[in-house]
Amino acid sequence: MSPLWGHLSGVITVILLLSFIGTWIWVWSARHKRKYDALARLPMDDEAHSNANGRDEEMHP
């Protein structure tokens, strides 16, 4: 195995790690909190809407 392959795999690993950390920081930034809170409430809002219409708790096709 050539030494170039070892360096190449190391560089790719560092790039992927930095991409992961950058994505993690972007997702957890404060400017996204309001949007994620709204998305987290969607299942409860749908359930409350279904119960208000008199539907059963279970979903029927």
At 39-49, the pLDDT tens digits run 889 988 877 66
pTM (2 d.p.): 0.54
Rg (the chain; Cα; Å): 23
Neighbouring CB atoms inside 10 A of 50's CB total: 13
Confidence of residue 61 (pLDDT cuts 50, 70, 90): low
Q: What is the predicted pLDDT for the residue at 54?
A: 60
pLDDT at 22: 96
Instruction: Give the domain ranges of the chain.
Output: 3-52
- For the chain, give the number of residues: 61
pLDDT value at residue 60: 53
